[in-house]
Amino acid sequence: NAGVTQTPKFQVLKTGQSMTLQCAQDMNHNSMYWYRQDPGMGLRLIYYSASEGTTDKGEVPNGYNVSRLNKREFSLRLESAAPSQTSVYFCASSATPRDTQYFGPGTRLTVL
């Protein structure tokens, strides 16, 4: 039982490049989330998926897109990376939106 997994763990991009962050959970959770964490800012919600087949914007969605591929997988795409997107990205899942969230190990992204 791996919980929530994320790939890659580290990534360096040049401005304008694109990439997709992958997230998968094996807990049969309905809800999944993408956060970014910057020093002093706490966890800020980028996008979420309350259930399979639905996605919606969170607090800071600009510059990102998501895909809920199936119940297990929720990916985050940066179409044209900018230095302001340098951050640590966490994926999380929960049984329902009201339940405890379980976090993946994070992806440390640097955009030059």
Partner 1 sequence: QQPVQSPQAVILREGEDAVINCSSSKALYSVHWYRQKHGEAPVFLMILLKGGEQKGHEKISASFNEKKQQSSLYLTASQLSYSGTYFCGTDPPGGGADGLTFGKGTHLIIQP
Q: Judged by CB under 8 A, does residue 8 bind partner 1?
A: no
**Interacting span for partner 1 (CB under 8 A) from 10-18, 62-70, 78-86, 104-112:** 104-112
Spatial contact of 93 and 27, defined as CB atoms under 8 Å apart: yes
Spatial contact of 88 and 106, defined as CB atoms under 8 Å apart: yes
Among 22, 58, 67, 72, binds partner 1 (CB under 8 A): 58
Q: Give the list of residues 6+ apart from residue 112 with CB closer than 8 angstroms, or none.
A: 12, 13, 14, 15, 83
Q: Give the list of residues 6+ apart from residue 84 with CB closer than 8 angstroms, or none.
A: 63, 111
How many residues sit in the footprint of partner 1 (CB under 8 A)? 23
**Interacting span for partner 1 (CB under 8 A) from 12-20, 39-47, 63-71, 76-84:** 39-47
Among 34, 64, 74, 90, binds partner 1 (CB under 8 A): 90
Among 13, 21, 24, 31, binds partner 1 (CB under 8 A): 31
Minimum distance of partner 1 from residue 47's CB (angstroms): 9
Spatial contact of 107 and 11, defined as CB atoms under 8 Å apart: yes
Spatial contact of 108 and 8, defined as CB atoms under 8 Å apart: no
Which residues form the interface with partner 1 (CB under 8 A)? Answer: 31, 33, 40-43, 45, 48, 50, 54, 56, 58, 90, 94, 97-98, 100-106
